[in-house]
Amino acid sequence: MEKHSNLAELESTFQTILEDRMDGVPVLNDRLQVKTIGFVQWNNYQFGILITPWFMNLILLPEQEGDQNQAKVGSKQTHIFPSGPYEFIVGFEDGLGVYLSCSLFSPMFEFEEQAVAELTAEEALSAIMDDANLDVESQAKSKEIEQIWAGEKPMPDKTDSLFTNKEKIADKRTLSERISEPTSRRDFLRGKVFTEDADK
């Protein structure tokens, strides 16, 4: 079998989408451009991040074109990385073929410049591939919620920490300032590097 479409084709496909389908769409951050970040071989895929002016997604490209031909577009697949499970959606584009995507950020207005988006993507990849970021606590809470809905466990009191949010402290730094400083990679994966008071 032939190798899957290369990364240049991934970029060119989404550059065409930007120019043709997304023209005039208000969700675009015009400070950003289409760019692939950090792709490596992972199991039977090429794995990395695709940045566009409207999203930042994890991407899995099957190494062989026939590997995902039976996958239904729009269906979901869970893939296990060192930091835990991630749910991907199957997509297809002419000239590119089948690809799997997992959303990290959308829309992209938090990013004040391309360099910040690329640095964020690099940090995300490092965090995802680090087993020190395996979030056992969150996985346990998700399992507990499933058990409650299934009637296997009683509904907890409303003050239980499972259903309440801890107070958030507003961070007045710009996104680029926050990204450039050491942060908990686990918190990064939970999106805590972003706050409601961040500069747009």
CATH number at residue 34: 3.30.1460.40
Q: Are the beta carbons of 197 and 169 closer than 8 angstroms?
A: no
Averaged over 52-71, what is the pLDDT? 82
Indicate the SS3 state at residue 164.
Answer: coil
**Which structural domain, as residue segments, surrounds residue 2?**
1-192
Q: What is the pLDDT of residues 105-119, one digit of tens each?
A: 999 999 999 999 999
Token pair of 94, please?
A: 């002419």
Q: What is the pLDDT of residues 5-20, one digit of tens each?
A: 478 899 999 999 999 9
In a domain, 2, yes or no: yes
In a domain, 126, yes or no: yes
In a domain, 197, yes or no: no
In a domain, 9, yes or no: yes
Q: What total number of domains does the chain contain?
A: 1
Nearest Cα neighbor of 131 from 189, 181, 90, 171 is 189
What are the CA-CA distances from residue 142 to residues 6, 31, 59, 75, 186 (Å)? Answer: 37, 37, 24, 22, 16
In a domain, 186, yes or no: yes
Identify which has the larger pLDDT, 185 or 3: 185
In a domain, 199, yes or no: no
The overall average pLDDT reported for the chain is 76
Q: What is the pLDDT of residues 71-90, one digit of tens each?
A: 799 999 999 999 889 999 99
In a domain, 5, yes or no: yes
Q: What is the pTM of this model?
A: 0.71
* Radius of gyration of the CA atoms of the chain, in A: 19
Residue matched to tokens 């710009």: 174
79-85: Cβ within 8 A, 24+ apart:
81/128, 81/129, 82/128, 82/129, 82/130, 82/131, 82/133, 82/134, 83/127, 83/128, 83/129, 83/130, 83/131, 83/133, 83/134, 83/135, 83/189, 84/133, 84/134, 84/135, 84/139
**Which of 24-28, 90-94, 96-100, 137-141 bottoms out in mean pLDDT, i.e. has the lowest?**
137-141
In a domain, 198, yes or no: no
> Does residue 35 carry a pLDDT above 90?
yes
Nearest Cα neighbor of 140 from 161, 115, 112 is 161
107 preceded by a cis bond (ω within 30 of 0): yes
Cα(99)–Cα(65) distance, integer angstroms: 10
